[in-house]
Amino acid sequence: MKIAFGKLGFPKKGAIVLGVMDDRKLSPMGEEADKASGGLLTSSMKASRFTGKAHQTLSVFTPTGRVLLYGLGDGQGIDTLWCEKAGGTIAAGLAGSGETEVAVAIESRGDDSASPELKAAHVGYGALLRSYRFDKYRTTLKAEDKPTLVKMTVMVDGHTKARRLFAELEAVAEGVFLARDLVSEPPNVLYPESYAKILQGLKADGLKVQVLGEKEMEKLGMGALLGVGQGSTRESKLVVMQWEGGKKGDQPIAFVGKGVCFDTGGISLKPAGGMEDMKWDMGGSAVVSGLMKALAGRKAKVNAVGIVGLVENMPDGNAQRPGDVVTSMSGQTIEIINTDAEGRLVLADALWYTLKKFKPKFMIDLATLTGAMMVALGQVNCGYFANDDELSTNMSDAAKAVGEGVWRMPLGEEYNKMMNSDIADMKNAGPRFGGSITAACFLERFVEKCPWSHMDIAGMAWSSKDAPTVPKGGTGWGVRTLDQLVRANYEG
Ligand code: BES
Ligand code: MN
Ligand code: ZN
């Protein structure tokens, strides 16, 4: 959807959105439209349950077109997140309404929470985020089932400033969309090699992109990552993306993603029911890719690296077995107890490579790592772990600022020792209880003293229901939090 900004006024065509406060109190433009329509707005509100409660909506058809009344409540606390929710709600409400264009009037003078221009920019941002669709593989969609809304104009005093503020947000949305596209692609289309090709395309955005194949990874000694891909006919890849927007020679910050393009479980095969979901087991890598695109898109003043380990976990005559012992790039050996605990093996080598090659300020890894995380926190909060309190605080502040939920989980020796093996340095799967925590402890063995956080996004990467700014399907969850983390703490 196209998002534009313009002066306040009644549009010549399309729908208009006007704010209404509690007790059906119309805005100045609302009063005007009410008069012009012979009191249609007032009578429609009276005939319905619409009172102006926050985010309530009512469509009124006047002789000059649709007026969508939007509840502002008591007008307090209308901050950027509130505006994004409103933009998304409007976009979704009118998407298939028959309207092709909508103009949203931001008549408020602004309060402590946000200036009118900032509110306008975030209304546009919310609408854009919600309007995302993945229709690539639909060939028989009927005209009447396709969305009609193609353009939103947000009207506000100071629309030039709003447009400028929006440009940065749009760059982040492009990153979110890349992440959503990647997790939505089917696994016969998106596999390590084709995925790496897509990421090569990010050179056009200004990123440096380098792809390592199996030969190079063998030379580096990445036995943990390679063991996972061993049963697949698809070649494993490691993709390194670099954004150099900071000072030359400044230590980079690093993001590492699990990119299991399909997770069958391997020889420890998963049950058939729901296995198709495991196409989005590359969700962590998708967020890293989307974040790198966003940083490049808004020319962030930071040096950042994004590293994704791309593999396919398949059962096969050549597949890794439970009982195998592999040697990771770090030299530490790992006894494979369960071939379905593959993500940590990929990350072990990707983290170590990142640590040694880039000596980053910090490392954050993202992974759809454990079903246990969904049991613990549902699909509401992402559980994250951190060996550094400052990084942890920055993380939770950033998530809060963009309206994505995170919850810190514990690490500790009691958990860590559950990953000790009888015959190797560690094993890849511990007891069932505390499964997300022991997985994090496993990863911690590959980060030495580097400030590090692990985000287990198993419950967040995919959603089966619509949310105000996130349509169901691939969510791109995390791109916005990490962009905000960078923006608020590591630029300039
Ligand atoms: N990719 C899965 C985790 C997962 C499951 C993510 C469902 C999203 C939805 C991961 O590779 C896995 O299979 N983990 C195992 C670990 C266990 C074998 C120690 C799990 O969670 O059961
Ligand atoms: Mn698995
Ligand atoms: Zn997996």
Q: Is there a common fold for 2-157 and 171-489?
A: no
Q: What is the Cα–Cα distance from 447 to 183, expressed in whole angstroms?
A: 27
CATH 3.40.220.10 describes domain 2-157? yes
Q: Are strands 15-21 and 452-456 parallel, antiparallel or unpaired?
A: unpaired
| pTM over 0.85, yes/no | yes
In contact, 324 and 336? CB cutoff 8 Å? yes
Which ligand is closest to the CA of 369, given by its number? Answer: 1
Q: Is residue 340 lining ligand 1, measured as CB closer than 6 Å? A: yes
In contact, 234 and 241? CB cutoff 8 Å? no
Domain residues of the chain, as ranges? 2-157, 171-489
- Ligand 1 atom nearest the C-alpha of 338 is 18
In contact, 151 and 102? CB cutoff 8 Å? yes
- Ligand 1 atom nearest the C-alpha of 372 is 21
| Predicted pLDDT of residue 393 | 98
Question: Which of 370, 415, 432 maximizes ligand 1 atoms within 8 Å of its Cβ, making it the mutation to test the pocket?
Answer: 370
CATH 3.40.630.10 describes domain 171-489? yes
Q: Is residue 456 lining ligand 1, measured as CB closer than 6 Å? A: no
Residue 155 CA to ligand 3 centre (angstroms) = 46
Q: What is the DSSP letter of 369?
A: -
422 C-beta neighbours (distance < 10 Å), count: 6
| Cα angle: 429, vertex 435, 441; to 5 degrees | 75
Query: What does 123-170 look like in DSSP terms, one character per residue?
Result: HHHHHHHHT----TT-S---GGGS----EEEEE-TTHHHHHHHHHHHH
Q: Is residue 263 lining ligand 1, measured as CB closer than 6 Å? A: yes
Strands across the sheet containing 452-456: 208-212, 237-244, 303-313, 253-263, 363-367, 452-456, 382-386, 406-408
Residue 281 CA to ligand 1 centre (angstroms) = 9
302 C-beta neighbours (distance < 10 Å), count: 21
Q: Is residue 6 lining ligand 1, measured as CB closer than 6 Å? A: no
| Predicted pLDDT of residue 441 | 99
The one-letter code for the residue type at 125 is Y
Residue 370 CA to ligand 1 centre (angstroms) = 4
Residue 457 CA to ligand 2 centre (angstroms) = 14
Q: Which of 268, 267, 270 is nearest to 319 (CA)?
A: 267
Q: What is the Cα–Cα distance from 103 to 105, expressed in whole angstroms?
A: 6
Residue 58 CA to ligand 2 centre (angstroms) = 46
Tens of pLDDT, residue by residue, the chain (492 residues): 999 999 999 999 999 999 999 999 999 999 999 999 999 999 999 999 999 999 999 999 999 999 999 999 999 999 999 999 999 999 999 999 999 999 999 998 777 789 999 999 999 999 999 999 999 999 999 999 999 999 999 999 999 999 999 999 999 999 999 999 999 999 999 999 999 999 999 999 999 999 999 999 999 999 999 999 999 999 999 999 999 999 999 999 999 999 999 999 999 999 999 999 999 999 999 999 999 999 999 999 999 999 999 999 999 999 999 999 999 999 999 999 999 999 999 999 999 999 999 999 999 999 999 999 999 999 999 999 999 999 999 999 999 999 999 999 999 999 999 999 999 999 999 999 999 999 999 999 999 999 999 999 999 999 999 999 999 999 999 999 999 999 999 998
- Ligand 1 atom nearest the C-alpha of 280 is 8
Q: Is residue 370 lining ligand 1, measured as CB closer than 6 Å? A: yes
Q: What is the Cα–Cα distance from 23 to 45, expressed in whole angstroms?
A: 10
Q: State the catalytic residues.
A: 270, 344
Q: Is residue 437 lining ligand 1, measured as CB closer than 6 Å? A: no
